[in-house]
Structure 1
Amino acid sequence: MVSGVKQVLIAAAYLGGVLAKRHHGQVGSLVAPVGAEVLTVGVIGDYGWTGWTPAPDHFCLEVLPALKAANITIPTEVQNDCDPGDKSYITNATALQTDTSSYVGQVCGMKNCSAFISVGDNFYDSGVDFTTGGILRFQAAWVDMYSQGVFDYAPWYQCLGNHDVVKGQSGVDFETKVAPLYDDRWYFGTKGLPYYSYDLKGKDWTATFVVVDSDCFVSKYQENTSVYYNEYTQKCHKHKDLQVEFLKEEFEKSTADWKFLQLHHPYVSSSGNNTDLLPLIEVVEKHDGIVLNGHDHCLAHYVYNNTNYVLSGAAGYPQAGDCNNGVKLGPFAKFLAANAETAASGFVTMDISKKSVNVEYYVRDMQFLNNDLYPVSHDLEPLYSFEITQHSK
């Protein structure tokens, strides 16, 4: 006969063993809970700066030009790690990712977020791959960064961005196949592909999400001068219709109340519209769907052709110009979290129920050294929100 105290100790030891394993893929990928009347998720993108070490200035400014003059092939990831803008951002970007991750955790702890939806650019500047360097980046920029409180048990439904494909197929394979086995919170479907679908299910509602790799649709990435031009982007661009057909099939067969397209690049933007995405957008419009995207380093809400576009690309380094410095362009921009000097860090939550999808924009008060770059008087409350009540079809 086992005593009550001993039973508790055994149970605690077993639970401890499970928890010790669960970040190493041995228990199975986490998924969002099923059956809630209202399920809250966080939408987050463009965040993975921590742990990136740019190439040294001497190499970028002096050696790199000499290598090009000598017609020596320079790996695209090396070229990207010399990007002068990103090199100048790295110190502030790392600090902002750290501070914003704490902010996201605080808000989501308050709102009880059950899952996170990534819209890509998970690792700057040149992604990660299955090398020791890639493993160290993954550990620092994601595993350790999002490991406390609500982060510890919430699945992340992932998506690729342009920085995630710089290393080509090896980088894509790491995020789609290796990372889910490294940490069971990192979800990338069940087939190891860069596109997939999943359902979130509530008490009396269902939401279908279709994830695609928008890098495959951007025509300028097919120019041999682009750092995103590699064997992966060439191949997936040739077969991009597979993703269009996948989106069509998943939306057609779904009877969900809400249908979402989850991708990285924006079709509607304050800085640069990616019209190459039109075949995908036409499917969304047909089904009265909702678009979630990142790429622009700010927060915004657009409405075009009766379709809502939720931009959440401000979890790392925000850039005012991506939201037109807060000056609205045309009738489509309903909200832009930027001013003349800066864009704000933050993210978006969605409260999904049978009745509606309530979208809230949480914008962090950005005060540094007695200078408040983006003042928000109550940043634990949404600065902007809107509600979607028209069900998808």
Structure 2
Amino acid sequence: MSALSGAITVAALAGIASSAQLPQTLTVGVIGDFGWTGWNPAPATFCSDIMPKLQAANVTIPRELQNDCDPGDRTYINNATALQTDTASYIGQVCQRKGCSAFVSVGDNFYDSGVDFTTGGVTRFQEAWVDMYTGPAFNNKRWYQCLGNHDIVKGQAGVDFETKIAPIYDDRWYFGTQGLPYYSYDIQGRDWTATFVVVDSDCFIESYQESTSVYQNEYTTTCHQDTQTQVDFLEQAFANSKAEWKFLQLHHGFQSSSTNYTELWPLINIVEKHKATVLNGHDHCLAHYYGNQTNFILSGGAGYPQAGDCNNGVPLGPYAKWLGANNQSAANGFVTLDISKNSIVVEYYARDMKFEGGDLYPVPNDLTPSYNFTITQQSQ
């Protein structure tokens, strides 16, 4: 599994032959929780009338059907589709101005129940990602992907589609060189290197092992029994890397305003040891948390925003440095990393949530960052 393949790709896509030609600063977009478009859930009558009868008759209901009956997600679908479309356009505007070189996904690429290698899965992949993220800011830009809980509802078939089929379908979609849900890659500038390690945090979540969980399947059961493989992979990748900057890229948040997934501690312990930075999604908002000299960058606002995930914009405790939410809505948007030899400038772009008759999240000039901070402590 080559950690250098990502660096080569970024340079090659930019038409750069050697590191001497690389820019001193590269901008990477961090985007998560975005893939709502094209989801057509089961009929409401099935969810309300038929499924209870089938369950009463001891008929096994596939996890994806159970998940598609989630009443909350069903109410979001129309607005979520429009918001993903508008936010994709917004990200394109910002990244065209900033010159984003690549994109980093923090998971939940396809709501509500992922995609697999079927007609429906292929159609959704085309509509919700290939056709959605097109234009000057997105074309020929590599997306370093990551799995979220919605991506694994279909089990191994869904994981295989995203890790093995999708990269062949569209070569912007990158999932390492081994077709595994965990991998590492480097992004290089003229005189610096940044190492990113992707893991599947779904494997660590205890509640997903409960028989009632829609995320409990043969994939999550097997990988939960062997989380040490991913812990060791992270430790080895960071230990072997001489990069100035190191990142852990995963879906669930260890620091959060809604749910702190403490099961991730074995990973976070390694992050702290190497003075790395955490990139995650899962909470449908934008936020910056800081604890134990570690930055946690939440970028989960590219689809349907949820104010409660960022505690309606009210920081609790000293860890929450900025929350992209108010008492009406969380902001749609994403995060950029301007990486150079001596610093990483982290900028949060929150979209003005204007609609006919109101504005859920007013931003006077949403083509400038709503919040930013700078990392100067290099990794070890």
RMSD of aligned alpha carbons: 1.1
Q: Deviations over 1:289-322 (max 9, x none)?
A: 0000000000000001010000000000000000
Matches within 5 A, 1:71-82: 71-82=58-69
The alpha carbon displacement at 1:219 in A equals: 0.4
The alpha carbon displacement at 1:29 in A equals: 12
- How many equivalent residue pairs? 366
Q: 2:377 aligns to what?
A: 390
> 1:204 is matched by which residue type in structure 2?
D
> 1:31 is matched by which residue type in structure 2?
T
Matches within 5 A, 1:10-89: 31-33=9-11, 35-89=22-76
Choose 1 or 2 for highest CA Rg.
Answer: 1
Runs of 4 or more consecutive aligned structure 1 residues displaced over 6 Å after TM superposition: none
Q: Do structure 1's residue 371 and structure 2's residue 358 form an aligned pair? A: yes
CA contact (8 A) 1:39 1:352 kept: yes
The alpha carbon displacement at 1:31 in A equals: 2.3
> 1:356 is matched by which residue type in structure 2?
S
CA contact (8 A) 1:49 1:94 kept: yes
Q: 1:333 aligns to what?
A: 320
Q: Return the alpha-carbon distance in structure 2 between the equivalents of residues 29 and 69 of structure 1.
A: 54
> 1:63 is matched by which residue type in structure 2?
I
Q: Return the alpha-carbon distance in structure 2 between the equivalents of residues 180 and 331 of structure 1.
A: 41
> 1:44 is matched by which residue type in structure 2?
I
CA contact (8 A) 2:7 2:187 kept: no
CA contact (8 A) 2:7 2:186 kept: no
3-state secondary structure, aligned to 1:279: helix
3-state secondary structure, aligned to 1:334: strand
3-state secondary structure, aligned to 1:151: coil
Q: Do structure 1's residue 257 and structure 2's residue 252 form an aligned pair? A: no
The alpha carbon displacement at 1:378 in A equals: 0.6
Q: Return the alpha-carbon distance in structure 2 between the equivalents of residues 50 and 84 of structure 1.
A: 17
Q: 2:345 aligns to what?
A: 358
Q: Do structure 1's residue 94 and structure 2's residue 100 form an aligned pair? A: no
Q: 2:111 aligns to what?
A: 124
> 2:72 is matched by which residue type in structure 1?
G
The alpha carbon displacement at 1:95 in A equals: 0.1
The alpha carbon displacement at 1:149 in A equals: 1.3
Matches within 5 A, 1:190-339: 190-339=177-326
Q: Return the alpha-carbon distance in structure 1 between the equivalents of residues 308 and 213 of structure 2.
A: 22
Q: Return the alpha-carbon distance in structure 2 between the equivalents of residues 219 and 321 of structure 1.
A: 23
The alpha carbon displacement at 1:176 in A equals: 0.2
Matches within 5 A, 1:139-150: 139-150=126-137
TM-score (norm 1): 0.92
CA contact (8 A) 1:30 1:185 kept: no
> 2:233 is matched by which residue type in structure 1?
F
Gap runs ≥5 in structure 2: 1-5, 12-18
The alpha carbon displacement at 1:332 in A equals: 0.2
Q: Deviations over 1:111-157 (max 9, x none)?
A: 00000000000000000000010000000000000011110111000
TM-score (norm 2): 0.95
Q: 1:109 aligns to what?
A: 96
Q: 1:163 aligns to what?
A: 150
3-state secondary structure, aligned to 1:89: helix
Q: Return the alpha-carbon distance in structure 2 between the equivalents of residues 169 and 277 of structure 1.
A: 22
Q: Return the alpha-carbon distance in structure 2 between the equivalents of residues 61 and 29 of structure 1.
A: 50
3-state secondary structure, aligned to 1:292: strand
> 2:10 is matched by which residue type in structure 1?
A
CA contact (8 A) 1:363 1:382 kept: yes
Q: Return the alpha-carbon distance in structure 1 between the equivalents of residues 199 and 9 of structure 2.
A: 19
3-state secondary structure, aligned to 2:289: strand
Q: Return the alpha-carbon distance in structure 2 between the equivalents of residues 162 and 225 of structure 1.
A: 15
Q: Return the alpha-carbon distance in structure 1 between the equivalents of residues 23 and 313 of structure 2.
A: 37
The alpha carbon displacement at 1:370 in A equals: 2.5
CA contact (8 A) 2:7 2:185 kept: no
